[in-house]
Structure 1
C-alpha cells in the first residue's frame, strides 16, 4: 500500500477578499530593495483608511519609495491556508503624534533607530487560498 502526499489546490481570491484576509491578520513581512538586494523584515500591521500601517525593525532611511508587504496563514502540517501580498508607494511615518499613536497600538520588536513605522498605499492586493484538492 503506497502513501501519496496530499494534493493542494491554489486558488486566487478576489481583491476584496484579499483585503479582508489582510485586515484579519496582524503579523507579516515587509519586503523592500536595499543596495540592489531584496530585504525581508518581520512586521506588525493594521489596515486603516485604505493604507497599510506597518511597524518593523528597519532603519527609516532604508524605506524605499515603494514596498511590498506579505502576510499568510498556512498550516505547517496540512499546507492549507492563504497568502496575501500588497504593493505600492511607501513612506516612513514621521509625524510625532501619528507615530506615537501607532507605537501604542502596534507592538514592535525593537526600540530606537530600527523601530520604524511605514505607510504603504497599496496599488495591488493579491491573494491565494491553499486547499486540499484531488489529483486530476
Structure 2
C-alpha cells in the first residue's frame, strides 16, 4: 500500500499553483444555500479575477464572502495539489481594467460576459499530496 504525504503550502506557493491553471470552482450562497459553479479565472496581483453574465446566480455574491478552489489531482496516482482562497467578491468597475480582463480572460461558454469580479484572498489554504518520492511542488 502506498502512503501519501500531505504537505501544507504557504500563501505564495499556493497562489503560484493557482495562477498556473485557468479553471476552478467558485462557492457562494444562493437562496441561503451553498452553490458551486465551475468557472475559468486569471490571477492578477494575487487576486482571483472571474467574469460573469447579467443573469448569473453568481452576481448575488458581489460584496459577500466567497471561496474559490482549484486543483490538479491525478486520478490514478492520487497525487497533486489543491488550493482554496476565501475573500469578498467585488465588482470591477474601472473601464480600463474591465477592457483588460475582457482581453485576457475569455469565457468558455457562449454568454455575453459583461461582469468582472475580483476576489482578494483573505485566507489561502493549499496542500500537495505526494507519494513521498516527489518534491514539494509539482514539476514546473
Smaller-chain TM-score range? 0.7 to 0.9
Where 1:79 maps in the other structure, the secondary structure is coil
Find 2:9's aligned residue among 9, 13, 31: 13
Give the Cα separation in 2 of the matches to 1:133 and 1:56: 40
State the 1:36 CA deviation.
1.6
Listed as ranges, the gaps of 5+ residues in structure 1 are none
- Partner residue in 1 for 2:21: 25
Deviations 1:74-132 (A, max 9, x none): 011111000000011112334444323212211212313x7642110111111000111
The residue that corresponds to 1:91 in the other structure is 90
Counterpart of 2:65 in structure 1 is 66
Alignment of 1:115-134 (within 5 A): 116-133=115-132
Q: CA RMSD in A?
A: 2.2
Is the contact between residue 60 and residue 92 of structure 1 (CA under 8 Å) also seen in structure 2? no
Matches of 1:56 and 1:7, distance apart in 2:
41
The change in CA–CA distance for 1:115 and 1:70 in structure 2 (over 3 A counts) is: farther
Q: CA–CA distance in 2 between the matches of 1:40 and 1:60?
A: 9
Change (3 A) 1:13 1:61: closer
How many correspondences in the alignment? 129
Q: 2:110 is matched with which residue?
A: 110
Gaps spanning 5+ residues in structure 2: where?
A: 134-140
Aligned residue number for residue 32 of structure 2? 36
Q: Distance in 1 between matches of 2:92 and 2:120?
A: 12
TM-score by length of 2: 0.79
Normalising by structure 1, report the TM-score. 0.81
Partners of 2:77 and 2:106 in 1: how far apart?
A: 29
